[in-house]
Structure 1
Amino acid sequence: MAQLKVESAGKCMYCESFVDDVSYAAVEHVRPKSKFPDQVLEWGNLGIVCTRCNTNKGSYWTDDESLTLINPYQDDVEAHLSFHGPMTMARVGSSRGENTVRKLQFSQRVDLLISRAAQMENLYTLITAWATAEDGSELKELRAEDVRAAIGKGVEYAGVLRAFARRSGFPVTGD
């Protein structure tokens, strides 16, 4: 489990919460071990999840590829999901995105929405400081470094924060 935590930056593969901050980590079997016992130890089938996402997903699996949950380690998340403020929404026309949001109950988890909103508020302060600094100044570049650090892939809720930064006019790179 230690290596999985390192590779995921300690974040739940689905909601991006720091797992140890909200509960105990669980090893996720993307393809449930009850239905795919031969894949229990396959590295590509494993991830770290929080107990909320783990409980919500349970042993869910479907052979209908249009309804499989998004695997953030293998799928292009932004092809199926979009972030609007602290909300995670399915992209129009993505049944996989819709099923992922429904099954993991992203819209009903008020605690998750509040945590994301708090991070967005902090980011808003950093983006405002960057936006109001004089173009071409050293201060502007220092403020940009602060924003880049706040939206790095290892931070909690990176997907939500990067989308917010993009919408706020900050040039997000390295997606």
Structure 2
Amino acid sequence: MQADLSPLIAATAQWLTCAYPSGGGALASALCEVQARQAVTVAAWLRYPTRMDAALVGMAGPGGSGRLDWITGADGADARDADEHAWRSWVDEVVASWAACLLTDAELAGRAVAALAGNSHTGGTPAGFRRLLTPDEADRRAAALLRHPDLTAPVAELHHSQLMDRLQPGQALIA
């Protein structure tokens, strides 16, 4: 049984960077990917706070990118290459939505990272999420689409209320 969220995190971050790509070259693409991965990691750890939660989603699967693809208009683009894009089955819609929320709201991102203190996934410090929490100008340029609240709103709004519920004071995450 897999108690590791890395396939879900990798697929969901890849989906975000495909849906909201960087406009620059290789460095900008890498910076965009790092920001997406950090936001997705925080969101995944919030959504699946225990090893048991992670193991269960590893067994059942997260649901895939179908609805997200439809919302962003990418639903028909990859249908003919389904085998080539099997990673899409590991995309978690809720995690993608929460990550979009975190990428467009610095205060919310700070609250989310703070909520992870003592979580069974975290061994590091918030410094591990610097590009999410305090992006510099190069980070912002690289992820202009990914961090644009109007562009990501259809995805962010899907599960925003659940994220807000999770981050309410007194909603301790089970360690």
TM-score, normalised via structure 2 length:
0.32
- Normalised by the length of structure 1, the TM-score is 0.32
Q: Which has the higher contact order (CA 8 A, sep 6+)?
A: 2
Higher strand share: 1
More helix by share: 2
